[in-house]
A = this chain, B = another copy of it.
């Protein structure tokens, strides 16, 4: 059996988020930040989550200080990328365009973002994408 792919469950993601936001931190520091954002975990819980993230290679730790200082190894971008990819694959037949459409239809954008999107699209039509290279149609 194919070993299950590495995943980042929700609880771990919450820890990662404060790590991204703070850059790094000890268990206690992160615990504090998490409490502020509503999480009521105990010290041990946060430590366990960091431990697991560490085993998965998503965070690194350094013990030059008294306590371990954790630092994210994976970026928010990467996690987003993976999650989006998986969502598109699983529910949008691998076609990101369908997701975009769905998003635009069900969640109207604030005007400024609408403009931004429009601009992006226009640029895109000028410089066509396509798999291989710069293009040479």
List residues of chain B with CB within 8 A of the CB of A109. Answer: 96-97, 100, 121, 124, 129
Shortest distance from the beta carbon of A133 to any chain B beta carbon, whole Å: 12
Q: Which of A114, A116, A122 has the most CB of B within 10 A?
A: A114
Q: A84-B102, A91-B79 are in contact. Are A118 and B120 (CB under 8 A)?
A: no
Contacts of A116 in B (CB 8 A): 97, 101
In the complex, the answer to whether B91 meets A113 with C-beta atoms within 8 Å is no
Interface residue range, chain A:
35 or more
Alpha-carbon distance A125/B100, docked complex (angstroms): 17
CA distance A99 to B103 in the complex (A): 8
Whether a CB of chain B sits under 8 angstroms from the CB of A80 is yes
A116 to B124, CA, bound (A): 13
Across the interface, do A117 and B101 meet the contact criterion of CB distance under 8 Å? yes
Q: Is the CB of B96 within 8 A of A107?
A: yes
Q: Does A48 contact B (CB under 8 A)?
A: no
Task: Tell whether A36 is near chain B: CB-to-CB under 8 Å.
Answer: no
Residue from B13, B84, B90, B130 within 8 A of A99 (CB atoms): B84
Alpha-carbon separation in the docked complex, A96 to B76 (Å): 16
Among B76, B84, B101, B120, which residue has its beta carbon within 8 angstroms of that of A113? B101
